Amino acid sequence: MNDQEVIEKVLKGDLKAFSIIVDRYERLVFSIVSLLLKKREDIEDVSQEVFIRVYRGMSGFNFNSKLSTWIAKIAYRSSLSHLKKFHRKSNTLDDIVEENNPVMENPDSLLEIKDSRSHIHKLINGLREEYKTAVMLFHIHGFSYVEIEKITGWPEGTVKTYLYRARKILKEQMIAHLKS
């Protein structure tokens, strides 16, 4: 069933259909909320709040964008609202990205990959919040510039600038690390 069919069922009162939406987008919501919030309880609370808002707003969704973009926007804005309300610091990238590396026969290779991955996560986590958000939405979640604009409210040119600057900083830091 595609998103439109599921939404039509939800609007007709089928709560089981809404669970399909939750199953499809819970990882996306959790990941976006985790970008901005630190405490697990806050992340879970805001994630639940996001799906309540999605359910309540479903009748107003008009398919001008993808459902994932609309849900991501709600997740991002809900997280910002929570931050403003409780003045919390942002989460670390290590809490966002799952550390499920494939099982390898060579333990040294596994350690090397884990160290490299950890270093990249630390570099990304060290970026300004805007840069980190742009990198995560674009590279991890695969949203387009236009979709990121809809999610964050930043103009498309700003999204491109943030990504350019973030990549430049990361490249410089990685080169410096390799030289040391």
| In a shared domain, residues 49 and 81 | yes
Average pLDDT score over the chain: 82
- Regarding whether 132 and 53 lie in a shared domain, the answer is no
The boundaries of the domain holding residue 152 are: 92-180
- The answer to pTM > 0.85 is no
| Residues 105 and 133 reside in one and the same domain | yes
Q: Are residues 20 and 68 in the same domain?
A: yes
Mark 28-57 as b/e (b = at least 16 C-beta within 10 Å): bbbbbbbbbbeeeebbeebbebbbeebeee
Q: What angle do CA 73, 58, 97 make, to 5 degrees?
A: 35
89-103, 141-155, 163-177: least confident range? 89-103
pLDDT tens digits, one per residue of 8-67: 999 999 989 999 999 999 999 999 998 888 889 999 999 999 999 999 999 999 888 899
pLDDT of residue 37: 87
Residues 86 and 98 in one domain: no
| Residues 84 and 1 occupy one common structural domain | yes
The last residue of a domain, from among 91, 126, 148: 91
In the predicted model, what is the mean pLDDT of residues 105-122? 56
Q: The CATH number of the domain where 73 resides is what?
A: 1.10.1740.10
Same domain, residue pair 129 and 85: no
Q: What is the pLDDT of residues 88-111, one digit of tens each?
A: 443 444 333 333 333 334 444 444
